[in-house]
Amino acid sequence: MRGPHNILRLVRTGATLERTGAMTVVLEAFEAPRPLRIVARSLALPFKWLGYKGDPSMPPATRALTALGPAYIKFGQVLSTRPDVVGDDLARQLRVLQDKLPPFPVDVARIEVAKELGRPVDEMFSDFSEPVAAASIAQVHKARLADSGEEVAVKVLRPGIERAFARDVDAFYLAARMIELFSPGSRRLRPMEVITHFDGVVQGELDLRLESSAASEFAANTKNDAGFQLPAIKWEYSARRVMTLGWADGVPMGDNDAIDDAGHDRVALSERVLQLFLQHALRDGYFHADMHQGNLKVAPNGDIIAYDFGIMGHIDEYTRRVYAEILYGFIRKDYKRVAEVHFEAGYVPADKDVDEFARALRAVGEPIFGMDATRISMGRLLSYLFEVTERFGMETRTELILLQRTMVVVEGVARSLNPHINIWQVASPTVTDYITKSIGPRAVISDLTKTARVMARFGPRLPVLVEAALIRQANPDLPPKRPFKRWIALAGVLGLAGGAGLALTLGAVI
């Protein structure tokens, strides 16, 4: 489906922005230079009649994105958390995309629930309300279980949402291909891989069984985290297009007035939401990757409640250590070490100069420290960072896309609660604690111990491998049978086994 017919979809994107008045709003929010504004308007104006009209009662940007479809709405949700990038007015307009989109009728939802769960709705739920929240992919109804009387939230996918997303992502693939074709310099950003990654994430979000499983794993990881709650999954009332979980009472994270009226400390909340994200990403390698205000509440006791687990991020232990060292280096203003970590991880080509890269990173990092958050232009900072990465040939790391995007979103949530928050100062204790535990003698011993456990599974095969190697050494005329691989494997097994044994010994001593 990634054929030329999708050009119409892309043309309609620009035409819709122009027709709804969003083109001017977006260009102004991003402080686009005058020549770019003239070119963008000139290209979109002739096709204005092709644009979607949208809902005239909505603000221009919200009107355009809702008319264009769910993938565009997802993009708007991210921007709504970044008033420092798009401005307070546009961020406020886009915030309705988080959970206040037009719902579909409750009768349609009841039909979907009955079809998915195989039982009449009235048999399962004594109450089933009108939609209480509607987002780009699904909407939520408040219900009460017939057998226990417990209040629950029932999430139901929008009818036809799978096809709608496929259409949007299909056009994105074409746009990515066109970018690679007409802008060779952008290939280092791997636009096709980025869209492929996004496509995979979305497909997972469209199966609520996977979301239920993700919520269960996330709950197990975070059960001891102070000031953090997750609603319990009701597996017997969940399926592919329906998900039921405990009802979460609290005020929306995006409503500062309600938070203040409830007597909660917004400064403490802003710090906790950032530290919780870093704990989950670094400690567990498994984090909520859609932590905008629409997916967060503040419980009556002040706990942060998270829900909507359709997008979860996972990073392996090695990548977590690299990420933590980069953050730690910025916190300590050790730009040389930050640069070295980029080179060691292969993020920057080896033929580049590490000292020059360190100086470029200093120019990015220094304006951040000791400055009031309200005086930092994140838009200009990101623009300069992009120039630095382009100059040094850094490629997009698709495995870090969710981590980077979520960091941007969580930072936006924290700033919306406390505009004066010092992100680096708040992050320092969590990152420092992780570095202390993951890098050093104890971490080395822990790694070797894990290696020993893995090698123990191959213990029964060691005699056979040794015997085969000795036979071949004693009979060199035998036809070779991958001799180098066998010897390398044997040496590796014996070496790792010895190292693991040393680790276990040291571990017992310490």
As annotated, the active-site residues are 290
Tell me, what DSSP letter sits at residue 307?
Answer: -
CA-only gyration radius of the chain, Å: 26
Spatial CB neighbours of 282, under 8 Å, sequence gap ≥ 6: 320, 323, 324, 430, 431, 434
Under a CB-based contact definition with an 8 Å cutoff, are residues 188 and 396 in contact? yes
CA-wise closest residue to 376 among 431, 423, 318, 324? 423
* Distance (Å, whole) CA 267 – CA 415: 9
* Distance (Å, whole) CA 179 – CA 191: 8
* Distance (Å, whole) CA 259 – CA 256: 5
- For 223-227, the CB contacts below 8 A with 24+ separation are 225/276, 225/279, 227/272, 227/276, 227/302, 227/303, 227/304
* Six token digits for residue 260: 């203040």
* Distance (Å, whole) CA 278 – CA 315: 12
Neighbours of 242 (CB within 10 A): 22
Under a CB-based contact definition with an 8 Å cutoff, are residues 306 and 296 in contact? yes
Phi, psi (5° rounding) for residue 156?
-130, 130
Neighbours of 340 (CB within 10 A): 17
Under a CB-based contact definition with an 8 Å cutoff, are residues 474 and 450 in contact? no
Residue 141 belongs to what H/E stretch? strand 138-145
* Distance (Å, whole) CA 253 – CA 233: 22
Q: Which residue has the tokens 């070490």?
A: 337
Q: Which residue has the tokens 């001017």?
A: 24
Under a CB-based contact definition with an 8 Å cutoff, are residues 332 and 227 in contact? no
Using CA atoms, how far residue 480 sits from 465, 490, 493, in Å, is 15, 16, 21
* Distance (Å, whole) CA 63 – CA 65: 6
What's the burial of 492, exposed, middle or buried (CB within 10 Å: 0-12/13-18/19+)?
exposed
